[in-house]
Amino acid sequence: MKTLIVYYTLEGNTEYAAMKIKEKTGADILKLIPKKAYCDKGFKKFFWGGKSAVFKEKPELEEYEINLSDYERIVFGYPVWAATFTPPIRTFTEDNKEALKGKHFSVFACQGGSGAEKSFEKLAECIGIEKFESTGIFIDPKAKQSAETDAAVDAFAATLD
């Protein structure tokens, strides 16, 4: 099944996991980049990122070229913000609502605290599906690299075969 990993990363944790999954599965990859970058340090990072997520903002993204009809499975990856998925993922899903219909979906989230399960429910609702085929939760996989976390990423990647 031809797979595309669509992800947003702020501090590199999600990108770390996405690249490991790509290595294991051979999936194609699409990194979402907002035209206006989010602050990645201090109080502003949590305030503006959390506010943007809670208020379901849709930031404008840098242009990307992808033909979603080429893919049967879409894997979403993102950091958890305020127990929900990040705004760039919202922009992508809402901008591509029709093209995403009928696809198989999996998702992974990177977090330092909690909220991933709730974010999966919210993303599934946004996409219009009942649940994801597979899910993965990784605790700061780049910032806190460990054999255990890498094994969790590998186990998630194995569900995509």
Mean residue pLDDT across the chain: 92
Least confident interval from 17-21, 40-44, 60-64, 77-81: 40-44
Confidence of residue 52 (pLDDT cuts 50, 70, 90): confident
**pTM, 2 dp:** 0.94
What does the pLDDT look like over 84-142, one tens digit per residue? 999 999 999 999 999 999 999 999 999 988 999 999 999 999 999 999 999 999 999 99
Count of CB atoms situated within 10 Å of the CB of 14: 27
Residue 93: φ, ψ to 5°: -65, -40
User: Could you give the angle at the alpha carbon of 22 between the alpha carbons of 158 and 149, nearest 5°?
Assistant: 60
Tokens representing residue 9 in the block? 């990363």
Residue 132 has a CB neighbour count (10 Å cut-off) of 19
CB 90 within 8 A of CB 58: yes
Structure token pair of residue 1: 């099944």
CATH class of 3-158: alpha beta
